[in-house]
Amino acid sequence: MNPDVESLELGELRALLNAERVRMGVHIRKMNSPGSPVYDYWENLWPAAVILFGSFGATAFIHFYVGAAALALGCWWWLARVQPKVKAGVFDRTASLVLNNEMQFQLLWAKGILTLYAKLPDGAERVATRRDDWREFVRGLRAA
């Protein structure tokens, strides 16, 4: 397959995603790991560094209980505020990568990082995972 030529199925998949007839799933943990093409070190490093240094500083300069409270508050901040933004960013970067490059889509599909889900007008649900052919999934939706 010529890498410069986009397959018809990828274009159709992009159109189905834009029309919200299909949803794409991304394995966030695998994609938010060092070595991933969408991993951002800074996005994952600075919040943890702020929490730890803030907690250590509060413990050293104020009191142990203030440091513990700073650590607890920092953990809440990480889970409630930062982590959802990181997940959304990883998803957006992964979707952009795979929908613009069929070779990347095929590679990440084969690794089990991507899934596709569609709910048909008759109420039936279809899911495609690594074991399924994503191209056949898109062709099947065209017929439905």
Average pLDDT on 114-134 reads 89
Q: Tell me what percent of the residues of the chain surpass a pLDDT of 90.
A: 62
Number of structural domains the chain divides into? 1
Task: Give the closest residue to 51 by CA, choosing from 89, 87, 81.
Answer: 81
Among the residues of 5-77, which ranges form H helices? 8-18, 28-31, 41-61, 64-77
What DSSP string runs through 81-97?
A: IIHHHHHHHHHHHHHHH
Residue 3 belongs to some domain of the structure: no
pLDDT at 4: 47
Q: Which domain holds residue 50?
A: 8-143
Task: Give the closest residue to 26 by CA, choosing from 100, 101, 125, 130.
Answer: 130
* pTM, rounded to two decimals: 0.84
Residue 27 belongs to some domain of the structure: yes
Residue 69 belongs to some domain of the structure: yes
Residue 93 belongs to some domain of the structure: yes
pLDDT digits (tens, 9 = 90+) for 60-92: 999 999 999 999 999 999 999 999 999 999 999
Instruction: State the pLDDT confidence band at 139, using cuts at 50, 70 and 90.
Output: confident
Residue 117 belongs to some domain of the structure: yes
| Residue 118 scores a pLDDT above 70 | yes
Residue 1 belongs to some domain of the structure: no
